[in-house]
Amino acid sequence: MEACFIIFDATFTTQSLRDRAAFYLSKYTRPEWGDDYPDEDEAIFEAVDDCIFPLKIELRGECGLRWICSGGEYDDIPADWPERLQAQQGFSIICISAGGEIEWQVLAFDGNTTQNRYVTRFYDDRGRDQPIEDFERQFTTQKWQQAMFDDNEDALLAMADMQAERWIKALSDNAFTDIF
């Protein structure tokens, strides 16, 4: 894996739970190992301990939270962070550039479990691969692809909200069920 860019989007049952998750994610407020934190926050602390700090954390609406991470092969970025942070629901949108290719993995947390909803896959069969390429083209634009290959975090951050909204819409519409 050369580079990884992940957009997390989660909804919490209350603003205080959302704010607590943001507090523990943040570089500037995250407690260090051995620091005091409330016992009821132990699971949240363990969910973020030793993980990289997000590039951006954004409070969204009443109880929403979006955070964005960038890293490499050896960075600890848990794909199931919405679940670990005790969200009500959430998405993890993972983009990986490896070997000159862009690959996607999208997971959804429904309040109970985190499950893969989409993973890039090809069959070495033009007839089967073409619908996948056509579907992914809405996400892997030339600008996005160039930013991934250049590891240009500023450009990726600028496009992240639009990318997240596209994926969330595709998931809610089940737009990809007929391509596999």
pTM here is 0.89
What is the predicted pLDDT for the residue at 36? 79
What is the predicted pLDDT for the residue at 31? 77
What's the whole-number mean pLDDT along residues 97-125? 89
Amino acid, single-letter form, for residue 118: Y
Integer Cα distance of 167 and 143 in angstroms: 17
- Of the candidates 79, 81, 14, the one whose C-alpha atom is nearest the C-alpha of residue 44 is 81
> How many Cα atoms within 13 Å fall on the side-chain side of residue 119?
6
* Mean pLDDT value across the chain: 88
Helix (H, G, I), strand (E, B) or coil at 65: strand
Q: Does position 67 have pLDDT exceeding 90, yes or no? A: yes
Q: Which two tokens stand for residue 39?
A: 């016992």
Integer Cα distance of 174 and 49 in angstroms: 34
Q: Which one has a higher pLDDT value, 147 or 34? A: 147
Buried b (16+ CB within 10 A) or exposed e, 145-166: bebbeeeebeebbebbbebbeb
Q: Does position 177 have pLDDT exceeding 70, yes or no? A: no
What is the predicted pLDDT for the residue at 124? 83
Work out the percent of the chain whose per-residue pLDDT is above 90: 57
What is the predicted pLDDT for the residue at 71? 84
Indicate the pLDDT class of residue 73, thresholds 50, 70 and 90: low
> How do residues 90-102 score in pLDDT, each as one tens digit?
999 999 998 888 9
